[in-house]
Structure 1
Amino acid sequence: MASPGPSSPPPGRSGRRRPPAASNAAGVLPTDVLFDVLLRLPAKELCRLRAVCRSWRSLTSDTLFIGAHAARHPDPLFLANFRDDEAHIHVFDLSGNVVKVIPNPDGHQLLTTRLDLTCAVTVSNSCRVLDPATGRVRVLPESPAPEHADRENVRKPYTSFALGWIGATGEYKVLRMFSRPILTGFHQCHLFEVFTISCTSGSCSSHAQWRVRPSHEEFFEPGSAIVVSEVVYFKVDTVCDAMICGGVNPGIPLDLIYSFDLEREEWRGILQGPIYDIFQTDEYDDDLDDYRSLWSEITLADLSGSLALVHYRKYQHVMDLWLLKDFDNGIWVKEYMIQIEPIFPTTEWCVKALFMLDDGRIVIHFPKSGLLFIYDPRTDTSAQVEMRHLDALAMYTGNLLSLQVGDMV
């Protein structure tokens, strides 16, 4: 199957050359007026126009025009699995308007990414990396690395994935984690592999197979993975939560965070979260029941390149957002305390995905209800995005003006 290629370089990079001269439908070179008119049109309309006009297709595919258009239309785009349509991935804006539909015939679930490419997976070891602009899809091999071929752990695995972009090389890397529901004591067995996708000049190639990476014997939850810059972060394993609920103290704080460096392909140090140390203070209720619910209330997130720990205190109707300021010294700062009552649903236990926009607004996806909200810290107000209910959400940082393969709607 065709390999994906980024529609544009990741944020911060843009072309510098001037667009080539092109003729319009009447054979006349475009004027500055025409150029300006085209810049005003949304990407959705431009893609329709250039489908019937080759000269506009050339002009609107130029890197300089794409950069200028992005500057004129800074509003972000998102990708979603809609609850009532597993057969497609939808690209939409924050007004709830769907601008593109991408086939998703096997019902793969989006990972919570913030990249030019995105990743859709299943827990049964199926993974696809796709380019929302071109519609190209790369299906990653399901067979394990040769060293894992005879391991019992990969016969019927529960599989988790994480996708990240490596700035120094321009490569994308996928981390795959095989997990078996067989415990040794209270430990699950995990196997780790990495797959590299190299993207240059609008096309992508990949290594032929997965590569084995070092195992990790600690209590961590593969399905909680979030990628921030080039590091994958994980919550503590659900086993620890179950032990505490059963009256057994695992000796591990429930806000502990593990991390894997995708660029170096090695494990980093263990990070102590900000909540455990202050749980006995006046800021938090020191009731044991509150501590027992801590694991389920915590979500890890990428807030504009910073690791965030989201603590959704359901019964207090408060959402605390902690940002990591210094990994080596474990310094956290609580940047936001959002009073969520009454607009947010009180049936939720946690946040599934959370993103920060360039203007400081925060996009919040609740998994149980499938609702999407935008919180504005400048006014301390929230608003629901009127749209279909979501099962998964990713932020798209690319540009839809690359040559289209999918359907614009």
Structure 2
Amino acid sequence: MLLRSGRRLATLEEAGRATVSRKRRERPDLLARLPEAILLEILVRLPAKSVLRCRAVCRSWRRLASDPAFLLDHHRHQPELQLISSYPTTDGGHYIRRLQAVHLRGAEVRPFFVLPELWGFRGPFDSSCDGLLVAGYDICNPATRQWAPLSTNPKLHIENIVGLFRHQPSGEYRVLYWTHSSVPPTLPILPGDVLCPNEYRVLTVGTSKSRLVDCPLTKMIGALGPIICGAPVILNGRLHVHWTMRADVCYHKILVFDTVAETFRHMIPPSVNPRHAMHLLDMSGRLAVATSKDGVTGVSIFLLQDKEQDVWAFHYRIKLPVMDIRRFQEQGNLWAEVVSEEGDVLVSCYGHLLHFDKKGNLVANFEYDDDDLPVVLPHRLKESLIQHTFFHKTQN
């Protein structure tokens, strides 16, 4: 009796294993019969890492997920991620550089990559555009782990980068940067004037083509010249840059660079205290300014109403619960940054990255090691799997 029961049980187990095995074999066939239109609707919404994995499933999936039209559509569907740089220590006590991205709506931190020495990055993250990131003398795509030098001329030092942009008529990616001018001034110098010691140039990425462009920043108050605050905002083919002054004299200037004509013009900023911190934002396709006295207690948002007349209007004010924030870090400085068109704020402190909404409510607390300071970079990035020729030149 026991022998029969044992045989019967073994038979059932074998039948069960056979059914599971058969279902596993049938699963790829069921997926293969899925209509391409539905499959594309699924793939286009996946993160870049998941799409790369799906390419390895079968030839038909690889064909669909590699088509240029799909790659462009995939990039358009990706959420805009806020970039974070952190510096955790290794076992040897040395700091390493790690790039992460915060998906605000998903309340998650996505690891992008660690920057080892062999990548050859020589400088901070300078600019981002269309899923591409400029770091030092290099351009990279964090989603595909591809990188290349900005210029094919190793003697051309590309420093002091203003912004990366796509030149619409040619489809080329170009970098606006400045260097110290070696040309003697030709304009009349009035008493009290100090000429800006910089000249502005445009480089086509992946070439040695660098050319001079005229810039209205000629006369400045202060001998050190202007510096860029935050990241430029690209709207309607124009790159908006916030400039301020070092040393004792403080003021805010907005310079607008037309990425098609490659010309400059001044824009009048909102009337804010020149000593308050200020940075530019893209709010639903409209230029905005965030300004704060100390960067923590509160942030005021101004919205551009008339881009032709440079008319600004107060939008709203964000008040942050400083006492609640201080329980995460009792001593030392705190850094708050408005990072979305909805008014989301990220606050950096040792061991924590705090996410608040525009009403000052704590939405999420991303925890880090106690000695790790997450830094909110002035850049956002939408993942892209679009291929670029300047990466292929480096790989070949």
- The answer, yes or no, to whether TM exceeds 0.5 is yes
TM-score interval, normalised by the smaller of the two chains: 0.5 to 0.7
Which string of whole-angstrom CA distances, capped at 9 and with x for unpartnered residues, describes residues 346-404 of structure 1? 965865x64325xx3535465x7696444434x5524344054433533222435879x
Matches within 5 A, 1:257-272: 257-272=254-269
TM-score, normalised to structure 2, is 0.64
The match for 1:9 is none
> Can you list the C-alpha shifts for 1:144-195, whole angstroms capped at 9, x where unaligned?
99xxx9xxxx8xx973331123445433221111248xxx965541121101
Answer yes or no: is the 8 Å Cα contact 1:87–1:105 preserved in 2.
Answer: no
2:344 maps to which of 343, 346, 362: 362
Counterpart of 1:320, as a letter, is: S
Q: Which residue of 2 aligns with 1:83?
A: 87
Change (3 A) 1:79 1:270: closer
Partner residue in 1 for 2:314: 334
Alpha-carbon distance in structure 1 between the residues aligned to 2:335 and 2:180: 23
Given that residues 175 and 192 in structure 1 are in contact (C-alpha distance below 8 angstroms), is that contact kept between their aligned partners in structure 2? yes
Change (3 A) 1:43 1:274: same
**1:256 counterpart SS class:** strand
Q: What is the aligned partner in structure 2 of residue 56 from structure 1?
A: 61
Q: 1 CA distance for matches of 2:128 and 2:179?
A: 20
**1:8-407 correspondence runs (5 A):** 29-32=32-35, 35=39, 39=43, 43-51=48-56, 53-62=58-67, 75-84=79-88, 86-91=96-101, 93-94=103-104, 95-101=107-113, 103=115, 104-106=119-121, 108-111=123-126, 113=128, 115-121=130-136, 127-141=137-151, 159-179=160-180, 187-197=195-205, 206-215=206-215, 216-219=217-220, 221-224=226-229, 226-229=232-235, 230-239=238-247, 242-243=248-249, 254-276=251-273, 293-294=275-276, 297-314=277-294, 317-342=297-322, 343-344=324-325, 348=333, 354-356=338-340, 360-364=342-346, 366=348, 372-377=353-358, 381-388=361-368, 389-393=373-377, 394-400=379-385
Q: Distance in 2 between matches of 1:65 and 1:324?
A: 35
Quickly say closer, same or farther: Cα 1:193–1:361, change in 2 above 3 A.
same
The SS at the match of 2:144 is coil
Query: CA, structure 1 residues 372+133, in 2 after alignment: closer, same or farther (shift >3 Å)?
Result: same
Structural RMSD (CA): 4.3
Change (3 A) 1:349 1:41: closer
Paired residues, number: 323
User: Partner letter of residue 217 of structure 1?
Assistant: T
Looking at structure 2, the residues matched to 349 and 100 of structure 1 have their Cα atoms a distance apart, in angstroms, of 24
Cα deviation code 1:187-221 (max 9, x no counterpart)? 54112110124xxxxxxxx4422111224313363
Distance 1:385 1:36, change over 3 A: farther
The verdict on how the C-alpha distance between 1:303 and 1:363 changes in structure 2, with shifts beyond 3 A counting, is farther
Instruction: Kindly indicate which of the two structures has a greater share of residues assigned to helix.
Output: 2
In the alignment, what sits opposite 1:7? none
Matching residue's letter, 2:268: L
Contact between 1:131 and 1:137, CA under 8 Å: does it hold in 2?
A: yes
Aligned residue identity for 2:357: D
The letter of the residue matching 1:191 is E
Deviation at 1:320, TM superposition (A): 0.4
The answer (yes or no) to whether the contact 1:80–1:110 under 8 Å persists in 2 is no
Name the counterpart of 1:18: none
Task: Give 5+ residue unaligned stretches, structure 1.
Answer: 1-22, 122-126, 198-205, 245-253, 277-290
Relative contact order higher in (CA < 8 Å, ≥ 6 apart): 1
Q: Which one has the largest radius of gyration?
A: 2
